[in-house]
Amino acid sequence: ENKHEEKVQNPNREEDKTKAEMGSKTWADLAGEMKMFLWNPEERTCLGRTAKSWGLILLFYFIFYTCLAGMFAFCMYVMLLTLSPYTPTYRDRVSPPGVMIRPYLNGFTIAFNISQPSTWQPYVDSMHHFLAAYDDKVQEEKNIECVSGQYFIQGGNESEEKKACQFKRSLLQNCSGIEDPTFGYSKGQPCIGEAARPWHCISYKPGCLLFLQIIGYRPGAGVPVSVDCKVQKGNESNLRSVDFYPGNGTFDLMYYPYYGKMTHVNYTSPLVAMHFTDVKKNYLVPIQCSLNGKGIINDVNSDRFLGRIIFTLSIGK
Amino acid sequence: IQDDHKLSTLELEEKYGTSINKGLSSARAAEILARDGPNSLTPPKATPEIVKFLKQMVGGFSILLWIGAVFSWISFGIQLAQGAESPFDNLYLGVVLALVVILTGIFAYYQEAKSTNIMASFSKMIPQQALVIRDAEKKELSADQLVVGDIVEIKGGDRIPADIRLIFSQGCKVDNSSLTGESEPQPRSCDFTHENPLETRNIAFYSTTCVEGTATGIVINTGDRTVIGRIASLASRVGNEKTPIAIEIEHFVYLVAGVAISIGVLFFIISVSMRYKILDSIIFLIGIIVANVPEGLLATVTVSLSLTAKRMAKKNCLVKNLEAVETLGSTSIICSDKTGTLTQNRMTVAHLWFDNQIYSADTSEDQTTQPFDQSSPSWTALSKIVTLCNRAEFRPGQENFPIMKRVVVGDASETALLKFAEVILGDVMNIRARNKKVAEIPFNSTNKFQLSIHETDDPNDKRFLLVMKGAPERILERCSTIMINGKEEPLDSEKAEAFQTAYMELGGMGERVLGFCHLYLPENEFPDTYPFDTDSMNFPTSNLCFVGLLSMIDPPRSTVPDAVSKCRSAGIKVIMVTGDHPITAKAIAKSVGIISATSETVEDIAKRLNIPVEQVNRREATAAVVNGMELKDMSLQQLDEILCNHSEIVFARTSPQQKLVIVEGCQRQGAVVAVTGDGVNDSPALKKADIGIAMGIAGSDAAKNAADMVLLDDNFASIVTGVEEGRLIFDNLKKTIAYTLTKNIAELCPFLIYIIASIPMPIGTITILFIDLGTDIIPSVALAYEKAESDIMNRRPRNKKKDRLVNEQLAVYSYLQIGIMQSVGAFVTYFTVYAEQGFLPSTLLGVRVDWENNAINDFEDSYGQEWTKYQRMYLQWTGYTAFFVSITIQQVADLIIRKTRRNSIFQQGLFRNKVIWVGIFSQIGIALILTYGLGHVTALNFTPLRFQYWFVAVPFAVLIWVYDEVRKLFIRRYPGSWWDKNMYY
């Protein structure tokens, strides 16, 4: 008889259900349902699963993910095995070389007032810090002297440690910060109408080093790559003269090729220092310094650091 | 309330400014037409196109994408204000997202419009014509041009073109069944017989049919103001229920959106607490949303549904509402009409009784011969009566048509007899010509017989032959002998008993029985020149010789029993709802299997056990035949009880209104109900049903408007093929969704790892869109062509509360298993690309800030090489491309595993679904084009990838395949196990 009663009640219950489905659920109902879902004390289920069920499913996923992680690790291991520790498999994306300047503090604008040391002191500190690795003593201690004007090609086993050529700070002469610890930032204070003498280093590290060794790539194909600077936009006369060190702004061939971090441990990238001796003052002067040489690309629009660098000088009194 | 039925003709002429002889003038008619509008039912108020369009723009995932687009624009604005280097990236991203929404919206709108158009063109196919008197001339006009006051003429077979007050009638009868449910034709005259305009005889109603006779009348109501129009507009107020698939898709959208938003918000919080800038965090959020949202999926679902709709249209199911395609698949109860749907809608001779024996005739649709024994001379006599005592004739010019298809002038029974005779004897008209008719008394309701007297075709026999047919008991009364094996024998009580038994048996089968007798008039009393007079009946009409009985029925369509048994094995309950007599209804139900051979109704049990009906245990009866009168007095509970307790139900003598009650009753049981109908009054039930199925041939426009589907051939069997397609598409949509969801994880993981491990971005937002809307689209549509894995018609209909389209197992298996595998595979490729270019995985970790810094142009890799920003970006795009290619490759494996959910791929056949291969080739083709063809367009962030990177993820693709095969193997091996419960989706 019970059964019969149940049947009679059934339609009402169904109706309630449909009503609920039609979205007229109250928030209290919803909260209650949620609570029940989170923890159902009758069936002892949490989020619809009993402890045993949770245990099983977690165990399954633990095993599953462990296996997957194992497979990942194995694939990565195999992949890494195929790599040489000395030279990357492909170097096509990193050459031709890009260019960077020092000092580099917050972007590519160098602005200071000669009369206010606090405005240029950070640049000076940055330079000293950067050039510390080029101190003559350090260089003499670690590196050898090479024959200028030709590539320093070191054959032998790939894994052998490679020697690096000395690049002494003193080569930068006026820009070395040895004679003038302010790198010219403070100079010209008395002679106001004249150019200030800040300077910049262009560091230039070619990328593809072993590649050079095999094929005999030479930056500039035997002729050293040189640097020149000009006003990027505006009046040419804003930048009247620039001095380059060393060797009129060339990167000596003996510093190439680079054999990579692993074997070429003490390699110090050669630098070119630029001495802007006559720049229009109290004026934003956009300057572009480019590398020139065979195989160097310096006119790509999308990459403004490829073979060239653009920065702004603003020197106040 | 109108009182036109009370007015005299003159008053009417005055009221409507018309003249009975001349009709309205064209000018006046045009005026009224302009005032009242055309004489057609306003289709249910259509949603304005712009609203439909906007709905597509904000429905589904669109909101999420709009949010993404708005965020992109906001961050563009902020970056622009801050003077960042490349603010336009975000502007473009926003534009692309907006475009995606708009384009998919337009696409969905177009698809919907297309299916609506099919319907629109369909309903315009047969414009109704009306014969009108205007400007004192008779004109054929399109019925929708009729206006109040027009004088129209109708004749037998016409549909009444408007509500008409009759002013002249000759033997006019109308079939009001679509309005009142009365199946008997109602006589119509010019007399005012009843106060109620619905009951009076001098009004004929719009959309009813004139069965016979002719009439002329004044149009008193047109269009929506007609009685039918008012009912139809009532029907349009019955709310449209959401289709099951719409509910499922909504559920799925909520699920995915929930995942997207919770992961998005979670990682927004994480990234903020990891001290990312708010702006960056917002951009991550956009990426996460875009990765999570399957942009192309809803379009794919639409395409899949419309493909199925097309397939169904080929099988004579025209689907008006795309979503109804699936509804049919989840149907658990079909409430079917009898006449025309289950039956052929044509009287056919089903049984014969002569020589004390019952013979069955072939009742199939395309009979060309009759197999029963025709050697007895009794049959020869009977066939002669059948042929001669018949006024029906074939319309001329149909000699080349199959007999069953020829149009006959005459009533249903005579037509049946004519065709029956034509099939067996051939050229009936010739036989009649050779046996010239000399006198005839047509059938009338007082005599209940039809009689004719013929010359015989035997030149040696100068006797006249009197043939008679009619109600069997009346015929028997007039007989004194009976023909047995060609010999006349006296009709004793034993033979009369045999006749009674046969008559009862045939009547019990719900068949209309006719008796046949004849008499050869003696030559001496009735010579050649004898003047037969039918009024005085100067010839014998008693002491005739009884020859036999013929019974006729509207036989079931030959495909129906099979279709019903298919429904039965598919767990679908078929309920017959008819206006017919319970005995006929039950007989047809039995013959098509709606009531199976072994099951009994309460009445049957009572009869068998010889106890009163009240004492029978109602639960023992599986079948029930419910009379409309009983239904009227039933409470809802009682109805529910019947629907619950009996698996085989026939509702007889029901009015169309009761249909609605029955449908609601079924829906209270939680069933998905399909209803077939053709009358205007069916339209509320059609609307109320989860899927309303209108008859394409017999159906009224109102029914077609209210329905979701139109059966072009009015055949019940077409519904079953529709059910099959509907179930298949549900399964296949599951596969499509599983396929599509999987790669979302592979698109999402990069963002999460990027945020947490600060590696260079593995995949770009634009790239993700190229997967979702590019490579993945055709394959996911291809899954709609997948064949069923097992006999889907042997399964119960899905439980709409439990068997969800996207269930927990599907989401978990796609997201947490296959999706993660794909991510791992793609990351292997990603790390390989970076490592081979000089960035070992260890270097990449935590590198994000410097990596993305525009000012750092001497970024050192693991080998000491220094990279400019652009060089890094280019490498990053190469990474995107590699990730993209890996996902594509693994999606090929994903596509193959999704072909089946339970069977092995090898059981299903790798090559049976050719479209899958089209999908795979398109997928790879698009990827190739993007990578190598568009690899130089930097805005798309694709680069020409080294060819070997296409194969890095192949082991993982193979792993996915093998793993899924193992999954399916365990599911097949251990049904009901933990594995089955957790892994079968």
Q: What is the pLDDT of residues B294-311, one digit of tens each?
A: 888 888 888 888 888 888
> Which residues in A lie closer than 8 A to residue B845 (C-beta atoms)?
none
pLDDT digits (tens, 9 = 90+) for B100-129: 888 888 888 887 777 666 555 545 444 577
What pLDDT score does B735 carry?
93
| Cβ–Cβ under 8 Å, residues B904 and B969 | yes
**Average pLDDT value for residue range B316-329:** 83
Residue type, B355: D
The residue ranking higher by pLDDT, B246 or A199, is B246
What pLDDT score does A207 carry?
30
- Are A302 and B644 in contact (CB < 8 Å)? no
Residues paired with B353 in a beta bridge: B358, B549
pLDDT exceeds 50 at position A9:
no
pLDDT digits (tens, 9 = 90+) for B139-161: 888 888 888 888 998 887 778 88
- Are B861 and A94 in contact (CB < 8 Å)? yes
Q: Are residues B672 and B749 in the same domain?
A: no
The residue among A94, A99, A101, A299 with the most chain B CBs within 10 A of its CB, best to mutate, is: A94
Element (H, E) at B739: helix B716-757
- Are A88 and B861 in contact (CB < 8 Å)? yes
pLDDT exceeds 70 at position B259:
yes
A94 interfaces chain B, CB cutoff of 8 Å: yes
- Are A93 and B837 in contact (CB < 8 Å)? yes
Residues paired with B649 in a beta bridge: B575, B624
> Which residues in A lie closer than 8 A to residue B862 (C-beta atoms)?
88, 261
* The domain boundary residue, chosen from B685, B714, B743: B714
Q: Are residues B814 and B922 in the same domain?
A: yes
A88 interfaces chain B, CB cutoff of 8 Å: yes
The residue among B866, B951, B982 with the most chain A CBs within 10 A of its CB, best to mutate, is: B866
pLDDT digits (tens, 9 = 90+) for A19-73: 444 445 577 888 888 887 777 777 777 777 778 888 889 999 999 999 999 999 9
What pLDDT score does A104 carry?
72
Task: Show Cβ contacts of residue B415 under 8 Å, excluding neighbours closer than 6 positions.
Answer: B346, B347, B392, B408
pLDDT digits (tens, 9 = 90+) for B350-392: 899 988 888 888 888 777 777 788 888 889 899 999 999 888 8
If one counts every other C-beta atom within 10 angstroms of the C-beta of residue A2, the result is 6
B831 interfaces chain A, CB cutoff of 8 Å: yes
Chain B closest CA to A80's CA: distance in Å?
8
pLDDT exceeds 70 at position A245:
yes
Pick from B637, B820, B821: which is nearest to A8 by CB? Answer: B637
- Are B863 and A57 in contact (CB < 8 Å)? no
> Which residues in B lie closer than 8 A to residue A90 (C-beta atoms)?
836-838, 946
By the 10 Å C-beta count (0-12 exposed, 13-18 middle, 19+ buried), B611 is classed as: exposed
Structure tokens at B481: 């002998």
**Chain A, 162-221: which have a CB under 8 Å from a chain B CB?**
203, 205, 207-209
Structure tokens at A86: 């000395």
Query: What CATH number should be reported for the domain holding residue B186?
Result: 2.70.150.10
pLDDT exceeds 90 at position B516:
yes
Q: Are residues B610 and B746 in the same domain?
A: no
A306 interfaces chain B, CB cutoff of 8 Å: yes
> Which residues in B lie closer than 8 A to residue A303 (C-beta atoms)?
868-871
Q: Are residues B539 and B420 in the same domain?
A: yes
pLDDT digits (tens, 9 = 90+) for A158-213: 788 888 888 887 877 777 777 767 776 665 332 222 222 334 434 333 332 222 22
Query: What CATH number should be reported for the domain holding residue B330?
Result: 3.40.50.1000
- Are A100 and B866 in contact (CB < 8 Å)? yes
Structure tokens at B477: 């009364």
**Average pLDDT value for residue range B543-564:** 89
What pLDDT score does B961 carry?
95
Q: Are residues B549 and B570 in the same domain?
A: no
Structure tokens at A159: 């894994």
- Which one, of B604, B630, B598, B632, lies nearest residue B618 by Cα? B604
Q: Would residue B374 count as lying in a domain?
A: yes
Q: Are residues B493 and B513 in the same domain?
A: yes
User: What ipTM was estimated for this complex?
Assistant: 0.83
What pLDDT score does B680 carry?
67
CA distances from B762 to B96, B267, B284, B767 (A): 20, 17, 13, 10
Residue type, B684: P
- Are B870 and A303 in contact (CB < 8 Å)? yes
Q: Would residue B409 count as lying in a domain?
A: yes
Angle between helix axes B244-273 and B716-757 (nearest 10 degrees) is: 0
Segment among A56-65, A98-107, B222-231, B527-536 with least mean pLDDT:
A98-107
Nearest CA in chain B to A13: B668
pLDDT exceeds 90 at position B879:
yes
Cis amide leading into A96 (omega within 30): yes
Q: Are residues B601 and B467 in the same domain?
A: no
Element (H, E) at B217: strand B209-221
**Chain A, 241-280: which have a CB under 8 Å from a chain B CB?**
258, 260-262, 264, 267
What pLDDT score does B44 carry?
62
Q: Would residue B599 count as lying in a domain?
A: yes
pLDDT digits (tens, 9 = 90+) for B597-621: 888 888 888 888 888 888 888 777 8
A80 interfaces chain B, CB cutoff of 8 Å: yes
Q: Return the percentage of chain B with pLDDT > 90, whole number.
A: 20
A56 interfaces chain B, CB cutoff of 8 Å: yes
Q: What is the extent of the structural domain holding B522?
A: 348-553
What pLDDT score does B968 carry?
94
pLDDT exceeds 90 at position B25:
no
Element (H, E) at B716: helix B716-757
Chain A closest CA to B732's CA: distance in Å?
26
> Which residues in B lie closer than 8 A to residue A87 (C-beta atoms)?
863
Cis amide leading into A246 (omega within 30): yes
> Which residues in A lie closer than 8 A to residue B864 (C-beta atoms)?
205, 258, 260-262, 264, 267
pLDDT confidence of B180, banded at 50, 70, 90? low
pLDDT confidence of A122, banded at 50, 70, 90? confident
What pLDDT score does B927 carry?
94
What pLDDT score does B185 carry?
73
pLDDT digits (tens, 9 = 90+) for A292-313: 877 777 888 888 777 788 888 7
Q: Would residue B309 count as lying in a domain?
A: no
Catalytic residue among B150, B158, B163, B337: B337
Q: What is the SS3 assignment for A47?
A: coil
* The domain boundary residue, chosen from B487, B521, B553: B553
Alpha carbons within 13 angstroms on the beta-carbon side of residue B813 total 26
> Which residues in A lie closer than 8 A to residue B886 (C-beta atoms)?
none
Q: Which residues of B770-786 are buried (b: 16+ CB within 10 A; e: fewer)?
A: bbbbbbbbbbbbbbbbb
Q: Are residues B498 and B594 in the same domain?
A: no
**Average pLDDT value for residue range A278-298:** 80
> Which residues in B lie closer than 8 A to residue A209 (C-beta atoms)?
865
Q: Would residue B606 count as lying in a domain?
A: yes
- Are A76 and B946 in contact (CB < 8 Å)? no
If one counts every other C-beta atom within 10 angstroms of the C-beta of residue B727, the result is 22
Q: Would residue B925 count as lying in a domain?
A: yes
Q: Are residues B384 and B325 in the same domain?
A: no
**Average pLDDT value for residue range A260-287:** 79
pLDDT digits (tens, 9 = 90+) for B475-505: 998 999 999 988 888 988 888 899 999 999 8
Distance CA B917, CA B896 (A): 9
- What is the bridge-based pairing of β-strands B866-867 and B859-860? antiparallel
Task: Show Cβ contacts of residue B114 under 8 Å, excluding neighbours closer than 6 positions.
Answer: B306
Q: Would residue B595 count as lying in a domain?
A: yes
Q: Are residues B825 and B767 in the same domain?
A: yes
- Which one, of B91, B99, B18, B88, lies nearest residue B57 by Cα? B99
Count of structural domains, chain B: 4
Query: What CATH number should be reported for the domain holding residue B401?
Result: 3.40.1110.10
A23 interfaces chain B, CB cutoff of 8 Å: no
Q: Please give the full DSSP string across B367-406, using - where no structure is assigned.
A: -----S---SHHHHHHHHHHHHS---EEPSS-TTS-GGGS
B644 interfaces chain A, CB cutoff of 8 Å: yes
* The domain boundary residue, chosen from B658, B682, B714: B714
B947 interfaces chain A, CB cutoff of 8 Å: no
Judge whether B980 counts as a catalytic residue: no
DSSP code of residue A302: S
DSSP code of residue B313: H
Structure tokens at A206: 């070619």
What pLDDT score does A13 carry?
41
| Cβ–Cβ under 8 Å, residues B518 and B478 | no
- Are B858 and A98 in contact (CB < 8 Å)? yes
Residue type, B969: L
Cis amide leading into B760 (omega within 30): no
Q: Please give the full DSSP string across B28-69, using - where no structure is assigned.
A: HHHHHHHHH--SSPPPSPPPPHHHHHHHHHHTTTHHHHHHHH
What pLDDT score does B117 carry?
62
**Average pLDDT value for residue range A244-261:** 77
Distance CA B592, CA B598 (A): 13
- Are A260 and B827 in contact (CB < 8 Å)? no
By the 10 Å C-beta count (0-12 exposed, 13-18 middle, 19+ buried), B388 is classed as: buried
Strands, E assignment, B554-679: 573-577, 623-627, 648-652, 673-677
Q: Are residues B911 and B938 in the same domain?
A: yes
- Are A79 and B858 in contact (CB < 8 Å)? no
What pLDDT score does B46 carry?
66
Distance CA A260, CA A245 (A): 26
pLDDT exceeds 50 at position B441:
yes
- Which one, of B475, B472, B452, lies nearest residue B539 by Cα? B452
B16 interfaces chain A, CB cutoff of 8 Å: no
- Which one, of A281, A285, A195, lies nearest residue A241 by Cα? A195
- Are A76 and B959 in contact (CB < 8 Å)? no
- The C-alpha angle with vertex B557 and arms to B552 and B558, in degrees rounded to 5, equals 105
What pLDDT score does B391 carry?
85
Distance CA B607, CA B595 (A): 17
Q: Are residues B740 and B786 in the same domain?
A: yes
Q: Would residue B123 count as lying in a domain?
A: no
A77 interfaces chain B, CB cutoff of 8 Å: no
